[in-house]
Amino acid sequence: MRVRIDGIDRDARQDESLVEVITRHGGSLPHVCYHVQLGAIQTCDTCMVEVNGQLVRACATAAADGMVVSTVSPRASAAQVEAFDRILSNHLLYCTVCDNNNGNCTVHNTTKLLAIDHQRMPFRSKPYEVDNTNPFYRYDPDQCILCGRCVEACQNVEVNETLSINWEDPNPRVLWDGGSTIQESSCVSCGHCVTVCPCNALMEKSMLGHAGFFTSLKKSTLKGMIDIVKGVEPETGYGAILQVSEAEHAMREHRIRRTKTVCTYCAVGCSFDVWTKDRHILKVVPEHGPANGISTCVKGKFGWDFVNSRDRLTTPLVRHGDTFRPATWDEALSLIARRLSDISATSGPDAIGFISSSKCTNEESYLMQKLARAVIGTNNVDNCSRYCQAPATMGLFRTVGYGGDSGSITDIEQADLVIVIGSNTAESHPVIATRVKSSHKLNGQKLIVSDLREHEMARRADMFLHPKPGTDLVWLNAIARYLLDHGLANSAFLDRWVNGLDEYRKSLAPFTMAEAARITGLSFETLQNVAHEIAQAKRVCVLWAMGVTQHNQGSDTSTAISNLLLVTGNYMRPGTGAYPLRGHNNVQGASDHGSMPNNLPGYQSVDDPEVRARFESAWRVALPKTKGLDNHQMVDAIHQGTLKAIYLIGEEMSIVDSNANYVGAAFEKLEFFVVQDVFFSETCRFADVVLPASPSLEKEGTFTSTERRIQRLYQVLEPLEGSLPDWRIIQRVANHLGAGWSYQHPSEVMDEIASLTPLFAGVSYKRLEGYKSLQWPVAADGTDEPLLYTKHFAFPDGKARLFPMSWVGPTDQPDAQFDLHVNNGRLLEHFHEGNLTYRVPGIREKTPDTWVEVSPALAEERGLQSGTWVRLISRYGQVRVRALVTDRVQGRELYMPMNSSEIAVNRLTSSHTDAATNTPAYKETSVRMDVLAEVGESPLPRINSRFGHPTPQKGVEVERKWKRPDYRIPGTQFLRVINR
Ligand code: SF4
Ligand code: SF4
Ligand code: SF4
Ligand code: FES
């Protein structure tokens, strides 16, 4: 299309608004409330243009062929100035002493763009106090221009539905839960609102008093300076004042660094710029991340204080009796080399095990397995995907060929039906949850949730299924059978793309709807409704997590999900597919890069002579030929006396592995144990040598998110003195063992990976610069695959495989002695056991402890209340914990978050595992509950967001502003002035 803008013909795309066309062509139209990722909000009116003689908002007007647009006509200019004047009446311009004077303040920049010298409407203070109650950010009503960006972000992107604007009030402002303080509201501190605020009304507290040269002055002095500036404004105009503030901004450029990184917490893969002044983290700015855009959760946005914690390890430690003493690096590394060499010489290399970290980079995972295989000579290497993701990977290997999500987050957004099974997505993968919540709220996406708990996703769902614990496999298979039996399967897809239908159908014989209803407790009607919803939906995505995988049939249930997607033809197209949501930031990458006992990097089997030969030739060593021990088997091998030493990096294995008492007892038997971490973890207590590592902000490398998305992280801070990035430590250990490695930078490691691994053939740091990313497999020419299987499945004949099903039933079932089922999982605020997040004071304030969730019915039966101490006793151990009574859980089902190392849920869990992968059956645990006499405070303070009362609405509802008696389209008044 062609659009004539200010006399020049411009091309325009079908779906573009005028503001997009104008800015894409380098035009300088003012626009304050419009935001690329939020779209047209229409509250500010500063983007007024004249189209065919009519004043319209450029942000809300679609470009049309032949349109004639003026951005500079007297009417348009007058409207823009008047609209902006109204904004300035809501905002005190004191840029020089403002922490937001960083070159990106929309109000400042628009003042300059419109060459405002004097404002016609005077500033009017609003009759409200600044709200400082939230630990992470504050709201200053006097600076709030009522643009509504924050409301749009909270209502429609994050979909926490906390914010609104009281347009009908004489003095509108942003409200939390309709009028609560921020601290007592439902705000989850995700930071979306702060990120999109175009001025300083919402600001990170870590910025306040830190960003500017003059902003740390005392409040009274600051006020004096603001008064002086305001005093001279009538004489000098804003032009001169803005020049001063721009000089101050230029000075800031020399001391504020902006560095791109990737989040260290979960595997959504949010990326953002971190603004730092020396070691002070000023703020986290998400904007360009391919997975997240403007989105973060509280951890990624505000959870970084741990980096500067006084608890950081800054020197190697060597065991000295029952304590540790500081040692030099040389002493510690020499000791490690000597002891590992001795054990290898006397007991063989397979007496040593290596545990890599899903928090570390791909390059570090690669080096760890290279150390195990090429330097020590063992395949005993694993990572914590064994604890969560291995069954999902197995299910996908069996059926479609690649062990990763079959598409991208955008596919999940596009789906007509999303099914979430065993995943508390809103807390464990918050930014992916925002996409589902938003599509569900705004675009008619349907949502079915199967879970034991009625968590946020369950409450939002169109259908919430609550099957008996551990029975998802049964209803999935019954639905698949029902669809096949009733002609509702996608037979064209099955004929063309899928093998194994006959054997699979035979295996489904026991899975009738009646039998499924009996085993799962779901009604026949419910199951039938779910079957028809799936059959009718054009595009279905299934999301699942540890509620599926951490069972004795975790691999089979994951397989059942993929089977069902094949039966209904929900692969190979955008908006469809299988999405096992990976947990840790780099749990996908840790396995991808070979920290597995059976696979070299890129899932190349250690059994394959051709593969081994390729690595042997590159590494110039002979490699071990037989599969090594996984981390579950390593623990057994220690007890059996065959495994004598472990080198473990970045894993809190002593409490996150199942049956923690058994694991701890094993670690006590080790002859030699090296633990490398950022803090002195629980696991360090068992160590002989502790090595101080650097967290992600202090290193370079790549992470691979749940979307198979490989992204670069850049070094934000120098490693804290005394600590080192893990890749450097692993290299030093290897070299003390005589390896002779000489990597100068992780990019060299990635080049080596690419040269040896077809899956990553085209991966290079150059192709990953800045916010660029690649979703594996990556061909040598750099072509990646955001959506897998678009041409064929990843098997030699290109066809997928239906995998036969059987039902065994869960282990560790409740009985007369252990009468309650205890489930466990993550919390929004804390990551895993909380070693990092408890060192963030704001998170600690909001969520200081763990608890056990008890249903109201069970609480009444046992006579307990929130805060009552109880003792949970399983067949394997016990914990003492406070109860939280909540209807999120039902009947005799309990839930314990895993956010505590002192009260670790894994003191209760067993050593039962998934048969195919050895992933512990964490979710199959029975306990009895002794109610103790002691009653304390509720473990969840009232200031936690879970006690808030959201106020859902569709965005900022600007129509309510337009209905105000004092509102009129801007422009007419000034036109009258000009005409006069
Ligand atoms: S939940 Fe809180 S931090 Fe997140 S957008 Fe809403 S008000 Fe802002
Ligand atoms: S607080 Fe919200 S409404 Fe106020 S200026 Fe910031 S984004 Fe706009
Ligand atoms: S924890 Fe996950 S969802 Fe939250 S910011 Fe980090 S990557 Fe994103
Ligand atoms: S940018 Fe168009 S109304 Fe605000």
Quick: pLDDT tens for 256-285: 999 999 999 999 999 999 999 999 999 999
Given a contact cutoff of 8 angstroms between Cβ atoms, the answer to whether 846 and 135 are in contact is: yes
Residue 37: pLDDT above 90?
Answer: yes
Atom of ligand 1 nearest to the CA of 160: 1
Q: How confident is the model at residue 389 (pLDDT cuts 50, 70, 90)?
A: confident
Q: What are the respective helix, strand and coil percentages of the chain, to the nearest 5?
A: 35, 20, 45
Measured at the CA of 459, the angle between CA 454 and CA 462, to 5 degrees, comes to 120
Q: Is the pLDDT of residue 976 over 70?
A: no
Whole-angstrom distance, CA of residue 285 vs CA of residue 280: 15
Assign 378 a pLDDT band (cuts: 50, 70, 90): very high
Q: Locate the ligand 4 atom nearest the alpha carbon of residue 58 and give its number.
A: 2
57 lines ligand 4 (CB under 6 A): yes
State the pLDDT confidence band at 980, using cuts at 50, 70 and 90. very low
The per-residue DSSP string of 168-197 comes to TSSS--EEETTTB-STTSS-----HHHHH-
Residue type, 762: G
Residue 162 CB–ligand 1 contact under 6 Å: yes
Q: How far is CA 592 from CA 157, 218, 382, 860, in A?
A: 31, 53, 11, 49
The pLDDT value given to residue 977: 46
DSSP β-ladder status, 773-775 and 709-713? antiparallel
Question: Which DSSP symbol is given to 330?
Answer: H
SS3 of 737, please? coil
Query: Which helix (H) or strand (E) covers residue 774, if one does?
Result: strand 773-775
Could you tell me if 307 and 717 are in contact, meaning their C-beta atoms sit under 8 angstroms apart? yes
For 217-255, letters b (16+ CB in 10 Å) and e give: eeeeebeeebeebeeebeeeebeebbeebbebbeebeee
Mean pLDDT of all residues belonging to the chain: 96
User: What atom in ligand 1 is closest to the CA of residue 191?
Assistant: 3
Residue the block writes with tokens 């609405």:
953
CB neighbour burial string for 563-575, b if at least 16 within 10 angstroms, e if fewer: bbbbbbbbbbbeb
Span 115-126, mean pLDDT?
Answer: 90
Sheet holding 54-57, edge to edge: 8-11, 2-5, 68-70, 48-51, 54-57
The identity of residue 538, as a single letter, is K
Label residue 973 by pLDDT band (50, 70, 90). Answer: low
* Residue 48 bridge partners (DSSP): 57
pLDDT for position 234: 77
DSSP letters, 229-285, are: HHHHHHHHHHHHHHHHHHHHHHHHHTT-EEEEEE-SSBTT--EEEEEEETTEEEEEE
Residues 451-470 pLDDT 10s: 999 999 999 999 999 999 99
Q: Which of 203, 198, 149 is nearest to 174 (CA)?
A: 149
Whether ligand 2 lies within 6 angstroms of the CB of 145 is answered as yes
Q: Report the residue among 193, 196, 828, 951 best suited for mutation to probe ligand 1: largest number of ligand atoms under 8 A from its CB.
A: 193
pLDDT > 60? residue 416: yes
| Whole-number Å distance between alpha carbons of 870 and 867 | 9
Structure confidence at residue 118 (pLDDT) = 85
Mean pLDDT of 506-510: 98
For the segment 784-832, what is each residue's pLDDT rounded down to a tens digit?
999 999 999 999 999 999 999 999 999 999 999 999 999 999 999 999 9
Measured from the CB, is residue 187 less than 6 Å from ligand 1? Answer: yes
Cβ count near 362 (within 10 Å): 27
SS3 letters across 624-672: CCCCCCCHHHHHHHHHHCCCCEEEEECCCHHHHCCCHHHHHHHHHHCCE
Three-class HEC string of 903-944: CCHHHCCCCCECCCCCCECCCCCEEEEEEEEEECCCCCCCCC
Q: How far apart are CA 631 and CA 721, in angstroms?
A: 32
**Rounded Cα–Cα distance for residues 52 and 565 (Å):** 52
| Reported confidence tier of residue 978, pLDDT bands at 50, 70, 90 | very low
Ligand 2 close to Cβ of residue 201 (< 6 A) = yes
State which amino acid sits at residue 389. Q
Cα distances from 363 to residues 25, 77, 263, 374, 728, in angstroms, run 41, 55, 17, 15, 11
Query: Ligand nearest 186 Cα, by number?
Result: 1
Residue ID of nearest Cα to ligand 1 atom 2: 187
Residue 818 to residue 815: CA distance in whole angstroms: 5
pLDDT at residue 229 above 80?
no
Q: How confident is the model at residue 387 (pLDDT cuts 50, 70, 90)?
A: confident
Contact 145, 909 (CB under 8 A): no
> Of 311, 137, 192, whose CA–CA distance to 695 is shortest?
311
Q: Is the CB of 199 under 6 A from ligand 2?
A: yes
Average pLDDT over residues 57-66: 96
Q: Is the predicted pLDDT of residue 235 greater than 90, yes or no?
A: no
pTM to 2 decimal places: 0.96
Q: Is the CB of 710 under 6 A from ligand 3?
A: no
Beta strand extents in 384-538 (DSSP E only)? 417-421, 446-450, 463-465, 498-499
Q: Write 173-176 long-range contacts (CB < 8 A, 24+).
A: 173/126, 173/128, 173/141, 173/144, 173/146, 174/139, 174/141, 174/144, 174/146, 174/150, 174/201, 175/951, 176/131
Q: In what order do the strands lie in the sheet with 773-775?
A: 701-704, 709-713, 773-775
**Mean pLDDT (whole number) for 146-160:** 98
Q: Tell me if 174 CB under 6 Å of ligand 2.
A: yes
Contact yes or no for 479/531 (Cβ under 8 A): yes
Tell whether ligand 1 has an atom less than 6 A from the beta carbon of residue 38: no
Percent of the chain with pLDDT over 70: 99
Measured CA to CA, the distance from residue 86 to residue 165 in angstroms comes to: 17
